[in-house]
Amino acid sequence: MLDVCLLGTGGMMPLLYRYLTSLMLRCDGSSLLIDCGEATQLAIKKAELPTKPIDYILFTHFHADHISGLPGLLLEMKNSDRVEPITIAGPKGIEHVVNSLRIIANELPFDIEFVELDDNDGFFDLKPYRIQYFKLKHKLTCIGYNVFNDRLPEFKVDKAKVNNVPLKYWNKLQHGITCTDKETGIVYEPSMVMGESRKGIKLTYLTDTRPCDNIYKFANDSDLFICEGMYGEDDKEQNAKKYLHMTMREACEIAVKTNPKEMWLTHYSPSVVKPKVYENDLKKIFKNVKICKDGEKKELNFED
């Protein structure tokens, strides 16, 4: 299960009626935040979510509208009496950038561990999340993320019995741990008690990019594809190309090819006052697109 809250939907600068784009995911009591522009701590308050359980913060890139709220958020977490370490991941230079910003937030009661991502693509674990990262196409290095919440295969009691697996090993085997019986020397593998692999949850988060090959390579078949749609009017495509962003139409055309269950648009230009007006036309391109407002929530569940 993945609890999703799109805290804000703005790009460039916070507005009185639209906070900057950032995403809060929650699973098993551990929260993961992607991006943290100025006033994200207000967006979190507005969504009535706690900051204390934020164990992980991922940054897509170092433009201010995606990171300037970090010092304030860290201090807010300090005021929430957090003492457990947090992990911050982002492009090359993440540790330097965060420490530079922390000149005004240097006394924290918790440690920060950094994950510096290279220019290629890959996976890393932030349990209970599994993260895939890949490079996008923006003015400076910008990273797209897939967040997976993997699902264990089903436990098969019949299979365990047929394979004569002692009851005392069932739990460990269910969680992927191979067991060896000290007395008999018999090795018990997880495959001896588990059924077929099962589809987990995949969420894709892309912002500040032109359409590019890596999107088609990595963003396929998501349960929820959250994508920038900086401009609503088609005649703004030149602006999108100039500033290395996307129009809402371009985002929907990507969805047609990558086949998500649902696409949420976000990161609207301040010039787009009422993004919702474009929704009907966009649905003709990709039916399951939603022009999100701040605080859009959804619970992603495993398939039955």
Strands 179-180 and 187-188, sheet pairing: antiparallel
Q: DSSP letter at 20?
A: B
Q: In angstroms, what is the minimal distance from the CB of 17 to its own copies?
A: 10
- 232-251 residues in contact with its own copies (CB under 8 A) are none
Which one of 103, 164, 182, 184 is in contact with its own copies (CB under 8 A)?
103
Q: DSSP letter at 152?
A: P
Q: Does 167 bind its own copies (CB under 8 A)?
A: no
Question: What is the Cβ-side half-sphere exposure of residue 153, based on CA atoms within 13 angstroms?
Answer: 15
Q: Does 108 bind its own copies (CB under 8 A)?
A: no
Residue located via tokens 């990171």: 67
- 24-53 residues in contact with its own copies (CB under 8 A) are 37-39, 41-42, 45-46
Which among 57, 106, 101, 49 has a CA at the least distance from the CA of 80?
Answer: 49
Q: Does 112 bind its own copies (CB under 8 A)?
A: no
Catalytic residue among 65, 208, 223, 294: 65
Number of residues interacting with its own copies: please give it, by CB under 8 A: 31
Q: DSSP letter at 147?
A: E
Q: In angstroms, what is the minimal distance from the CB of 69 to its own copies?
A: 7
Structure tokens at 229: 């749609």
Q: In angstroms, what is the minimal distance from the CB of 71 to its own copies?
A: 5
Which one of 6, 25, 31, 63 is in contact with its own copies (CB under 8 A)?
63
Q: In angstroms, what is the minimal distance from the CB of 229 to its own copies?
A: 20
CA-to-CA distance for 132 and 134, rounded, in angstroms?
Answer: 7
**128 SS3 class:** coil
Which one, 16 or 167, has the nearer CB to its own copies? 16
Which one of 9, 35, 62, 204 is in contact with its own copies (CB under 8 A)?
62
Q: Does 76 bind its own copies (CB under 8 A)?
A: yes
State the amino acid at position 270 in one-letter form.
P
Residues in the chain: 304
Q: Which stretch binds its own copies (CB under 8 A): 12-20, 143-151, 228-236, 257-265?
A: 12-20
Q: Which stretch binds its own copies (CB under 8 A): 7-15, 82-90, 118-126, 181-189?
A: 7-15
**294, 9 in Cβ contact below 8 A?**
yes
Does 65 qualify as catalytic in the annotation?
Answer: yes
Q: Does 129 bind its own copies (CB under 8 A)?
A: no
Q: Does 71 bind its own copies (CB under 8 A)?
A: yes
Q: Does 12 bind its own copies (CB under 8 A)?
A: yes
Helices (H), 34-143: 40-46, 64-67, 70-79, 94-101
Q: Sign of the C-alpha dihedral, residues 211, 10, 6, 253?
A: negative
Residues 6 or more apart in contact with residue 45 via CB below 8 angstroms: none
CA-to-CA distance for 98 and 116, rounded, in angstroms?
Answer: 12
CA-to-CA distance for 147 and 26, rounded, in angstroms?
Answer: 11
Which one, 104 or 167, has the nearer CB to its own copies? 104
State the amino acid at position 92 in one-letter form.
K
Structure tokens at 224: 């929820």
Q: In angstroms, what is the minimal distance from the CB of 43 to its own copies?
A: 10
Q: In angstroms, what is the minimal distance from the CB of 192 to its own copies?
A: 53
Catalytic residue set = 65
Catalog residues that contact its own copies under the rule CB under 8 A: 12-16, 37-39, 41-42, 45-46, 62-65, 67-69, 71-72, 75-76, 79, 96-97, 100-101, 103-105
